[in-house]
Amino acid sequence: MFAANDILQLTQAGVEKYKSKFASDDEFLVSKVIQETDEYAEYFIITNLSLMKRKKEPQKPLALTRNPAHKYFKHLLDKDGCALFHSYEELSRLSDEQLKNEHPKWLKKRDFRWSLMAPFQSDEAVLKYLLGQLGHAITQHAIDLNVNEKAIRRPLNYYISFGFRKNALLPIDYAKIGSKGLREGMKKTGPKPKNSTELATRMTEPDDVTRVQRLALRNCVDKKDGKFCLKHLHILFLKEYCSTKRIVKKGNETHFELEIDVSKRINAQQFNRLFKKAFDSKQQQVLKTGKSAYQNNRKDKTGNAAEGIERAGQLCESDSTELTIYVAYPLNAKKRQAAGKVYICIVVCVKTQLIMGYSLNFGAPQWMSVAEALINCVQNKQVYAEQYNVELDDGDWPCQHFPEGLRVDNGGENTPNQFLNVLTDDLGISCVDYCPPARGAAKGTVENILRIIQSFISNVTGSVEKGRDASIQHSSQKAVFQIDDIHRFIIRAISIHNSMHARERLLSPEMATDDVTPTPSAMWSHLMNDEFLGRPKMSQKRLPELMYSLMPKQVATVARTEVKLNGLGYHSCWAEAQGWFAKAVEGHFKVDVISLGGSVDVIYFKDDSGELQPLALKDEYESYRGMTAQQAQFRLDEIKSHRKVLEYKKENALVNFEHEIEQVQEYRLKNDFKDAPPNTQKTIQAGIAERKAIMIEDEQRQKAEKQKALMQLKDVEKAKNESQHDNFNEFDEDIY
């Protein structure tokens, strides 16, 4: 609890909030605590003591209620951990009698200043002044007294800053009080010099116009569906015409980097003027928006996606699209082959336009794409980026939070049953909003961000060139970047968008007051650090639980010998110890399982303790090991198709078999047994053993004759081969 005359310092939250006003090591004074009444709450009047010591002009103190005061400030402690308090300057503690004898002029000036601010000395008036509610009253009072407003505001600030004391109005040079004085290196505030070396540019040349024309036409390959980015063209101009190579050493590795040569540099304004000289207004519009968009898409767009949204992550949008770049096939290093294009799924905060998470997949968008993007929202981004050799700062991608609400379209990856059950019931997302079909503008925020991400790789080697000349080599023939490289590019693009794209129109009045940088990451951090609107980052220990909740559940059947899933069988000692297979004797039952990465080798069951128990593929299904679910399903469907063909053939063969039985029976009855009457006796026939012995004897005689015939045939074949061999030898003798 703070008391009057306590010396304070900023907390980390206070440093962030007041970084535009105060220094991080400034000392603050609690000049007074105004107790709570029926009319107003308890307020702490806090003044910057260091600032008062540095400059003569007093600053308006802060008036904070208890929660913000303790959030942004804390006691300044000495080496022993004890709180420090402020003692006023000895000259300001002189009595009126002493002032009359020693400093009569000071007393006269003090009383004159006191009379000017007489109407504003009460606690209620001071609070109104600090809260900005006395502006008109002070102006009118200054008019009535025929003085400048500063003559009232300046002594009022002194009076409030130094304990509501009358002697605070003494003409003492407070800038010289204390031991700090002016800081080393402090400069007088004012506008920055115009001729800063960092902002130096060169004069444009006539050849620059031609360079801009060539560069624009060379990079405008998609005139139908693509978008022309003038900022990106400026970057390419700097890269091609204004940069030089330099050697950079990182650790033990040395490589080359490009550095902009200040003597060759032109800024964005100069480049824009060159672009306007190079193309007329119509050509500029066609280049920037494409010919089709220039002719057809001329409608105004109104509305605000963030209307009614107060918190970061309160409402997010998710969508998927195919990236316009062919990825290299990594399994054949002897030939440059393309493995196709990948799909990206992103989750975007509507309030700040911060990209919270993403996922990349070769397969078409499905529920797993959305699940991976949602999991990425919660991951520690610096640790995640290290997997792809990308180093991120804290402010590049500050999201480690789960969305509170989600807006998606009716795509195949967003099955309503899965979405409602998993997101709403399991994870507690309060808002799941489905956009109507063919209405992408209903989630325009994520659509726009996807176009921005696409623009980062639109000119990368292997990117699609729509509307290209048929004589130009197809983009798939140029594929050199593998999937890890695409991840690296996307992470870089996301960090650049989050930390460097200006979004001034998204700033709230509070953000503008606190001088928040108008970038998605800065606005996100500001809202997440807010006392009432913010949320702490989600612990990484919850990732396994979150992943299991988001994984699509599959229903497996426990049978007598195995756990069946999609035509394959699984087994584990844990399931056997739990009595699953013994229980299945009475009847098959169902269990929920998941698979990781779409592999069929192992499936997992979550037991009562929350642990995942693996069920391995049985040996008789070994031919399916290493396959994905889609590959295994294709093989099973293929086998099923072959089985159907065989069943069809078997049915025809069985029909003919039955027919043949009937034919043989009819033949025997009509020929061999035509004179034999049917048997009417019900008991076993007599003499079967004698007749069987006769048949055995006859059977042995027939087998002997057949074997003799086979042996004779073999002897004939042998004699024939020997004869041919002898003739061949004779032929050899004749030759030699």
d(CA 69, CA 63): 9
Yes or no: say if 556 and 590 are a contact pair by the CB < 8 Å rule: yes
- Say which residue the tokens 């196709």 belong to: 340
d(CA 622, CA 570): 11
Yes or no: say if 208 and 264 are a contact pair by the CB < 8 Å rule: no
| Spacing of C-alpha 332 from chain mean position | 31
Which candidate, 362, 356, 392, 399, places its Cα nearest to that of 374? 356
Same domain membership, residue 234 and residue 95: no
Q: Which residues pair with 319 in a beta bridge?
A: 346
* CB contact burial 704-720 (16+ within 10 A = b; e otherwise): eeeeeeeeeeeeeeeee
Looking at residue 146, what DSSP letter applies?
Answer: T
Do the domain assignments include residue 309?
no
Do the domain assignments include residue 681?
no
Which residues 6+ apart lie within 8 Å of 515 measured at CB? Answer: 19, 20
- One-character DSSP codes across 63-102: EE-HHHHHHHEEE-B-TTSPBPB----GGGG--HHHHHHH
| Spacing of C-alpha 625 from chain mean position | 32
Which pair of tokens denotes residue 289? 């928006």
Alpha-carbon distances, residue 375 vs 368, 369, 446, 521, 726 (angstroms):
10, 10, 18, 19, 83
Query: What is the pLDDT at residue 368?
Result: 78
Do the domain assignments include residue 85?
yes
pLDDT tens digits, residue range 564-622? 988 889 988 888 888 888 888 888 999 888 887 677 888 888 887 777 888 888 888 88
* CB contact burial 346-374 (16+ within 10 A = b; e otherwise): bbbbbbbbbbbbbbbbeeebbbbbbbbbb
Same domain membership, residue 128 and residue 62: yes
Alpha-carbon distances, residue 397 vs 217, 323, 434, 627 (angstroms):
34, 21, 27, 35
Same domain membership, residue 107 and residue 63: yes
Same domain membership, residue 570 and residue 538: no
Do the domain assignments include residue 425?
yes
Do the domain assignments include residue 690?
no
- Is this prediction's pTM over 0.85? no
**Overall domain count for the chain:** 5
Q: Quick one: 607 exposed, middle or buried, by C-beta within 10 A (0-12, 13-18, 19+)?
A: exposed
Domain harbouring 527, CATH code: 3.30.420.10
Same domain membership, residue 481 and residue 372: yes
Which pair of tokens denotes residue 196? 């800063």
Same domain membership, residue 142 and residue 24: yes
Same domain membership, residue 355 and residue 210: no
- One-character DSSP codes across 257-287: EEEE-TTT---HHHHHHHHHHHS-HHHHHHH
Alpha-carbon distances, residue 233 vs 91, 470, 667 (angstroms):
66, 25, 94
Which candidate, 279, 264, 269, places its Cα nearest to that of 217? 279
- Say which residue the tokens 């070396």 belong to: 197
Range of the domain at 601: 553-631
Same domain membership, residue 283 and residue 382: no
d(CA 406, CA 432): 5
Which secondary-structure segment (H or E) carries 645?
helix 629-670
- Say which residue the tokens 């040569």 belong to: 261
Radius of gyration of the chain (CA): 44
d(CA 191, CA 135): 28
Same domain membership, residue 489 and residue 357: yes
> What is the separation, in whole angstroms, between the first and last Cα of the chain?
124
Which pair of tokens denotes residue 541? 């220990």
Task: Give the end of a domain, one of 520, 545, 570.
Answer: 545
Same domain membership, residue 499 and residue 374: yes
d(CA 290, CA 306): 29
Same domain membership, residue 608 and residue 626: yes
- Which amino acid appears at position 725 of this protein? H
Do the domain assignments include residue 167?
yes
Low-confidence ranges of the chain (pLDDT < 70): 1, 38-39, 55-56, 173-199, 220-228, 288-308, 410-443, 465-471, 597, 714-718, 723-736
Which candidate, 365, 327, 325, places its Cα nearest to that of 346? 365
d(CA 405, CA 316): 6
Yes or no: say if 264 and 241 are a contact pair by the CB < 8 Å rule: yes
Which candidate, 439, 411, 421, places its Cα nearest to that of 322? 411
d(CA 437, CA 84): 65
Which candidate, 488, 489, 482, places its Cα nearest to that of 459? 489
Other CB atoms within 10 Å distance of the CB of residue 569: 18
Other CB atoms within 10 Å distance of the CB of residue 316: 30
Yes or no: say if 213 and 279 are a contact pair by the CB < 8 Å rule: yes
Same domain membership, residue 264 and residue 115: no
Yes or no: say if 562 and 576 are a contact pair by the CB < 8 Å rule: no
Query: What is the pLDDT at residue 147?
Result: 87
Do the domain assignments include residue 735?
yes
Task: Give the end of a domain, one of 176, 209, 231.
Answer: 176
- One-character DSSP codes across 427-457: T--SEEEEPPTT-GGGGHHHHHHHHHHHHHT
Which secondary-structure segment (H or E) carries 381?
helix 381-386
Task: Give the end of a domain, one of 518, 545, 572.
Answer: 545
Do the domain assignments include residue 63?
yes
| Spacing of C-alpha 30 from chain mean position | 44
d(CA 386, CA 491): 10
